[in-house]
Amino acid sequence: MNETVKKDAMAAPDDVDAKRKKAQRSRNVAIGFCLAAFVIILYVATWAKLGANVMVRPL
C-alpha cells in the first residue's frame, strides 16, 4: 500500500502540470479570439466612419 501512495504522489505533479497547460492554452485561444474580433470591429468601424467616398477627393 505504501508503494501505491508513492506512485500516486509522483504522478500528481504531471497531472497538475497537464491541467495547467490545458487551462493556459484555453485562455490563450480565448484571448486570441477576442483580439481578432477587436481588430475586425475596429476595421469595420473605421471603414464605416470614413465612408465609401474616402478615395474620391480633389487633388
- Measured between alpha carbons, how far is residue 29 from residues 23, 33, 49 in Å? 10, 6, 30
Phi-psi domain of 58 (left: phi exceeds 0; alpha: psi -120 through 50; beta: other): beta
Per-residue pLDDT tens, the chain, 59 aa: give them.
Answer: 555 555 555 556 778 889 999 999 999 999 999 999 999 999 999 888 888 777 777 77
pLDDT value for 40:
97
Q: Is the pTM value of this prediction over 0.75?
A: no
The residue ranges of every structural domain in the chain are 2-53
